[in-house]
Amino acid sequence: MIRRQSIPALFALLCVIYILYALVINLIVHPNAETFLSHKIGSEHVVKPAVWLKVMNVHVGFACVAMASGLINFVSRNYEKRRRFHRLNGYVYVIAVVLVDLSSGYMAPYATGGKISSIGFNLLNMIWMAITVTAIVQIRKKRILQHRRWMVRSYAFCFTNLLIHLFTIVLHQWIGITYVTSYTIGLYGSIVLLLALPEVLFRIWKTKNRAAV
């Protein structure tokens, strides 16, 4: 059985593997995203592949910066001693979130699944930004616990792409629903899960802390 203390280390390891995976798959193995773009044939907005790919590379790059900087701030100990670093790294996270959101804003009109997916991605953009800004407002008011909670909520959105693809694999490859429909359901399913999972975590932590007293 996994010991309680080793859960953060395991989580950090999985995040590092995922960051490397996202970089290698998108920037090295499939730099032209041929398979992904093939699902857009016949869509309302015609993708200009050269521009789309450049924006997508920026998107993936800053998504990985957000994942890495967020992870470092969550796992680093001696917060009091490294306050300056925590704050600086925190702003790196916020800038990365803004750039992922901006690149997402460009790609949203061309999203797989058309208008309905486009609305979903724009909704995601707004929710992620609002949650991240709330986390900053909380720490400016010196509410450390609330800041931590809002940062956990914000960090959950770093797993958007992973969740959408997991949903798509299950619905498309296992159940046989078309790729485009699976992707769209995956997008909305991910929004619900990304909002719900941190709340479930908070409840588990609360129960465990009560049991430990």
Binding residues for ligand HEM, per CB under 6 A?
A: 22, 26, 36, 56, 59-60, 63, 66-67, 100-101, 104, 107-108, 110-112, 121, 124-125, 128, 157-158, 160-161
Instruction: Using the minimum distance from each CB to ligand HEM, give the nearer residue, 50 or 145.
Output: 50
Rounded to the nearest whole angstrom, what is the least distance from the CB of residue 37 to ligand HEM in the complex?
8
Instruction: Using the minimum distance from each CB to ligand HEM, give the nearer residue, 82 or 109.
Output: 109
d(CA 149, CA 135): 8
Instruction: Using the minimum distance from each CB to ligand HEM, give the nearer residue, 149 or 158.
Output: 158
Rounded to the nearest whole angstrom, what is the least distance from the CB of residue 6 to ligand HEM in the complex?
25
What own/partner pairs with CB < 8 Å and gap ≥ 24 does 178-185 have? 179/39, 179/112, 180/39, 180/112, 180/113, 181/113, 183/39, 183/112, 183/113, 183/117, 184/112, 184/113, 184/116, 184/117, 184/120
Instruction: Using the minimum distance from each CB to ligand HEM, give the nearer residue, 56 or 143.
Output: 56
Q: How far is CA 184 from the centre of its chain?
A: 17
d(CA 69, CA 90): 7
Instruction: Using the minimum distance from each CB to ligand HEM, give the nearer residue, 162 or 204.
Output: 162
Torsion of CA 35, 41, 45, 48, to 10 degrees: 50
Rounded to the nearest whole angstrom, what is the least distance from the CB of residue 52 to ligand HEM in the complex?
8
And the tokens for 81?
Answer: 């001693």
Rounded to the nearest whole angstrom, what is the least distance from the CB of residue 94 to ligand HEM in the complex?
13
